[in-house]
Structure formats: structure tokens, C-alpha cells
Amino acid sequence: MLTTLLLVPIVSAVALLLGKGNRSLTKFSALLQAAITLLVCLGYDTAKSGYQFVYELQPFVPSLDLKYSVGVDGLSVVMLLLTALVTTAAIWLSPTIEKRANLYDACVLLISAGATGAFLAKDLFFFYAFHELALIPTFLLIGLWGTGERQAAAWKITIYLGFGSIVLLVGLTDLFLSLPADLRSFDLEKLAAAAARHAIPASAQLRPWLLLTAGFGILISLFPFHSWAAPAYSSAPTPAAMLHAGVLKKFGLYGIIRLVVPFLPDALKQPVVGDWSAHDLLLLALLGNILYVGLVTIAQRKLDFVIGFSSVMHMGYIFLGIASMNITGLSGACLLMFAHGLSVAALFGITGIIREREGSLSFDRLGGAMKSMPYLGICFAMAAFASIGLPGFANFASETMVFFGCFQSGGTGFIRTATILALWGVVISAVYMLRAYRTVFLGEVPPARTGSSAWADLHGPAKLTLAALLGTLLLAGCFPKTLIAYIKPTLEAALR
């Protein structure tokens, strides 16, 4: 079933490239992918830990146990659900493309396939390779169908993420070689068993920690490696922004929880610069995301840049949950990965619709949209409230768990100060999100608007896709234990 889930977008993309399909095939592929993912979620036994639905072939390199191997545990099931929801929404909200439409749709499906493969992979090589697969269509979508300074944005994201991938590869190699020879394997399940035995001594953990945190951090847009994200998202076509910000960026966070947390916990205590430990440097970096990038977001005067920088800002909260290194904070971080993916995908989807109506996202050309697009205005308000962390949404439940996790018995010293400072990010996000909503949807239609003063509201499947994203956010916010039940056994194993 998992191999079928992986093959659906790949086969559909190949068919589109061969001229054997159209947008209908793309939509059917997304719905089929969502249906199979739902079956996996329903069939997954939350009472068991470890991987389920495992399927693997004979090793290509027996000495390294390198083989095609897929399986899911609780964390990857939640990430697969996120991927399926955002993929479906991205395709159904995507505008009609006249020029090279099949290549456009194939690129969207390949991004989804890369993210799906990375979350399904039970082998370290394929875990890395599937993420790299998704970067090529991202570059093509921005460079060929983007807006504004799309060429510069495409090259910038490619250079940043390419460099991050190289650093990550070096870090993965260093982690692999740090293991005793008899425990070296590419199989993630065997690696997890080695981590539970604390196979890497504390004295050898700092260097791979620095390399992996830097490599994954660049992919996640951790401060100060964040400057690529907002320009890339503002120039990207709607589905590319939705999938990259909503799903693909979570690959780095998923990798940190999967590899760095269980293998290298003692590295956090070791000094790096003077008396500053690795843990202190991580807290400083995430505060840069929350406070500095938050203030930069307030200064923006275009809707796409507001959403782009806000996405970068909220990565800081997820890192804060990871920095807590306890089950409460890590559970909040994983739930926030899911919640942020849905909320930012909804915001980018609505932003793309407004760009299609007006041709510009500058605040001086927007206003009064609620009069002609009430449904879209309500959806934007809900997504904005979720992003701020309004009670009832999954973002609130997850951020609350992050904060409580940081104040638990293990949370002493600088982490408590960092958490108090991070709380101001809630105020900052409320300022820029409420201002964006007021500017775009309330007030009068500005004279600078070049398009029609009466924009058409959403209808049909586009309405349902936004409702699915926001409805899931509400359900996960009111019943967070449903997702935590999937995630908790994986995190307990990682913290052993």
C-alpha cells in the first residue's frame, strides 16, 4: 500500500510528461493519494510502537544494508496526512495554466512525491534522495511560472537549498561513521535501535550535531539562514508555495526529530563558543526567527511577503519545542508542524487567488475584498487566527504544549528566558496578521486597484479544499489527543 501511495504521483507525473493526461488526471491523482493516506491512518495501530506496513526489497549494497524500504510510524503517518491534504488543496486551488500545463502539473506532483517518499523512507539513502527529488521541480516552477523577480528567486532558493543539502550530506556521513562498525546501517529502524543503546559517545556528538543542525536548519530557514524563504515564496506559483512552505520545509524538522534528537542529545550541553553551549546557540537562533523575523514581517507592505516571513517566524516555535528535549515540548513541536503546514498552505492558497484577481499583492492596491468575496474573507480570517494561535485551532494547542514543555523540570536557565521572550512573538504575529486582514478585506476599494472592484468569490471544489484544511485545523485543535496518540510512541522511543 505504501509503495502504491508513492507511485501514484510519480506515475501520474510521467504520464503528464508523455502527453497522456491533463488537469483531470492531476486532480484524480491527488484524490487517490489522499484516499490511500486515509486508509493508512485508519489502519495504523497506535497501541504499537515502531514501523508498520513495512515493505522492502533485497539490499542493493548488503554491507551497508542499503535497500528500498518503506514503512510508517506515528510521526510519519501524521506527516503523510499533512502531505495529502496540502497536495489536494494545492492542485484544486491552482490557477489554470495555458503554457506547458502538463509540465506544470507534473512538477507539482513530483514535489508531493518527493515529500511522500522522504516521510515513507525507512532507509537513510532514500530519505535523503527523495527530498532532493522535490527540489528540482521547485526550481522549475518558480523559474518558469513564477512572478516578480522569479529568476533571481529560483536561483537563490536553489543555491541555498543546494548548499544546505551538501552540509546535510556531510553531517549524515559523519553521523554514520561515528557509529561503531558493527552498528552501521542505512536502515532507520536499526539506527533507532543503535540510538537507544547510546552508541555514539558524548565526546563525539558535537561535530555531527553542528553539521546536521546547520544542514537541516538551512532547509528549514533557521536564523540566520532564512533570507531565501520569503522571496522564493512570494515569487512561486500558488501550489509551489503551498507545498514547499506547508510540507517540504517540514522535512528538515522531521529529520532533526528522527536523527539528531535520539543520537546526539549530549551535544547540547557541550560548549561551542566560550561558555555558550550548543543548546544556548540553538535558543539564540530560534529567537532570531521569532523576534527579528517577526519584526521584519511587520515592516512588509505586500501580502505575499507577510505570509512568507510569517512562515519563517513560526519555525522558531517548532525549534523551541525541540530544544525542550522532553515529551511535552516535542509533542507540541510535531503537532505544530502539522498545524503550521495546514494554516500556511491555506494562507498561500488565498494569497494566490487574490494575486490572480488583481495581479498585485501590494497593500495600497488591496481593500474591501470582503464585500465581493465573503467566503474567502472568512477563510482568510480563520487561517490568520490559526496562525496567531487562537484557542480552538491546532496551532494554539501545539504552541501551548511547547511553552509548557520548556517550563517543565528540565527547562532551567536560558531556556526559560528564551521562552518568555518567545511569548512576545504571539503579540507580533497578531499585529501583522490582523493588519493584513484589515487591509485586504475590510475598508473601501482603493483607487489604485487596476482590476475589477468586484472580485468573484470561490465556488465548487475550491471551497471544499479550503474548508478541509481549516476544518482539520479545528478538529486537531479541539481533539489534539487524536494526533498525539500517533506521535507519542515515536517520541518516547527517541528520548530513551
pLDDT band at 205 (very low <50, low <70, confident <90, very high): confident
Rounded average pLDDT over 376-389: 91
d(Cα 351, Cα 75) in Å, to the nearest integer?
29
Contacts of 461 (CB under 8 A, 6+ apart): 92
Q: What is the pLDDT of residue 403?
A: 92
User: Tell me: the pLDDT tens digits for 150-202?
Assistant: 888 888 888 898 899 999 999 999 888 888 888 888 888 888 888 878 888 88
Rounded average pLDDT over 101-118: 91
Q: For 411-441, give one letter per residue: b (16+ CB within 10 A) or e.
A: beeebeebbeebeebbebbbebbeebbebbb
Nearest 5°: the CA angle 32, 35, 38 is 150
Contacts of 61 (CB under 8 A, 6+ apart): none
Q: What is the pLDDT of residue 348?
A: 93
Least confident of 199-203, 320-324, 390-394: 199-203
Rounded average pLDDT over 430-457: 76
User: Tell me: the pLDDT tens digits for 5-19?
Assistant: 999 999 999 998 888
pLDDT band at 443 (very low <50, low <70, confident <90, very high): confident
Cα-trace Rg, the chain: 22
What the block records as the C-alpha cell of 66 is: 542499503
What the block records as the C-alpha cell of 280 is: 544556548
* 451 pLDDT higher than 60: no
pLDDT band at 109 (very low <50, low <70, confident <90, very high): very high
- Count of positions (residues) in the chain: 496
Helix (H) or strand (E) holding 72: strand 69-72
Q: What is the pLDDT of residue 192?
A: 82
pLDDT band at 361 (very low <50, low <70, confident <90, very high): confident
| Mean pLDDT of all residues belonging to the chain | 88
Helix (H) or strand (E) holding 304: helix 303-324
User: Tell me: the pLDDT tens digits for 1-60?
Assistant: 889 999 999 999 999 888 887 888 888 999 999 999 999 999 888 888 788 898 888 777
Q: At what angle do helices 461-478 and 74-93 cross, to 10 degrees?
A: 150
Domain that holds residue 224: 2-494
Q: What is the pLDDT of residue 398?
A: 93
Q: Is the pTM of this model over 0.75?
A: yes
Of all residues in the chain, the percent with pLDDT exceeding 70 is 97
Q: Which of 168, 174, 79, 156 is nearest to 132 (CA)?
A: 168
* 454 pLDDT higher than 80: no
d(Cα 429, Cα 289) in Å, to the nearest integer?
12
Q: At what angle do helices 23-43 and 101-120 cross, to 10 degrees?
A: 10
Q: What is the pLDDT of residue 448?
A: 60
Quick count: other Cβ atoms within 10 Å of Cβ 492? Answer: 14
pLDDT band at 133 (very low <50, low <70, confident <90, very high): confident
Q: Are the C-beta atoms of 169 and 215 separated by less than 8 Å?
A: yes
Name the one residue in this structure whose C-alpha cell is 465581493: 372
Number of domains in the chain: 1
Q: Who wins on pLDDT, 245 or 412?
A: 245
Name the one residue in this structure whose C-alpha cell is 510512541: 489
User: Tell me: the pLDDT tens digits for 288-318?
Assistant: 999 999 999 999 999 989 999 999 999 999 9
Which span out of 85-89, 203-207, 235-239 was modeled with the highest average pLDDT?
Answer: 85-89
